């Protein structure tokens, strides 16, 4: 299962990467759930290819995440994720919503909010713009990328995600 792969990869210090398993297990590692685990925990996943498969079909599960990260300009210098590292930069009280925030040396940031529950979830992520070194007037905008959830309201430094489907995520550009 993707979640056990993530757990064991962290325990043995081999890095934040889902390990795809054998051919019979690979469908689980090319699923929305696997992509959600990667988005929630700041991980990556290998795309499993076999003879006769089409690359575009195999990467479809993780392409929205790749496209989101591709929107971030500059070199990533900090990553905030309260799931496994204390941070004052972001917080979310909804237990099934996992926020992760990448900051770059250009003063821009990308916020991903992921639902690791199979049911729809609603919740608010509180950003600490001062901790991020950003102005209170920093623009926070949802990304319009195919495959991302877009029912998001931004009010100042609060991002509310409405009815985020299970194993899905949304992405917002900050800066």
Q: What is the mean pLDDT of residues 150-162?
A: 96
Q: Strand, helix or coil at 158? A: strand
pLDDT the model gives residue 17: 57
Rg over CA atoms, the chain = 16
Instruction: Tell me what pLDDT residue 77 has.
Output: 92
What pTM did the predictor assign? Answer: 0.87
**What's the CA gap between 141 and 139, in Å, rounded?**
6
pLDDT tens per residue, range 115-126: 999 999 999 999
Query: How confident is the model at residue 13, as a pLDDT?
Result: 47
Q: What is the pLDDT of residue 110?
A: 97
Q: How far apart are CA 27 and CA 162, in angstroms?
A: 29
Residue 75 in this model has a pLDDT that exceeds 70 = yes
Percent of the chain at pLDDT > 90 equals 59
């Amino acid at each position: 299962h993707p979640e056990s792969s993530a757990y064991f990869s962290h325990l043995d210090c081999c890095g934040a990467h889902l390990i795809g398993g054998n051919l019979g297990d690979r469908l689980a590692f090319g699923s929305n759930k696997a992509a959600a685990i990667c988005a929630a925990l700041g991980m990556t996943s290998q795309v499993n290819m076999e003879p006769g498969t089409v690359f575009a079909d195999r990467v479809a599960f993780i392409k929205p995440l790749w496209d989101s990260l591709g929107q971030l300009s500059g070199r990533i210098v900090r990553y905030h994720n309260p799931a496994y590292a204390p941070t004052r930069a972001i917080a979310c009280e909804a237990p099934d919503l996992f926020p992760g925030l990448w900051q770059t040396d250009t003063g821009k940031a990308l916020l991903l909010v992921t639902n690791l529950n199979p049911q729809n979830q609603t919740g608010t992520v509180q950003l600490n713009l001062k901790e991020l070194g950003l102005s209170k007037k920093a623009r926070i905008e949802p990304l319009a990328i195919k495959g991302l959830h877009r029912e998001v309201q931004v009010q100042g430094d609060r991002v509310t995600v409405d009815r985020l489907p299970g194993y899905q995520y949304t992405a917002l550009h900050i800066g």
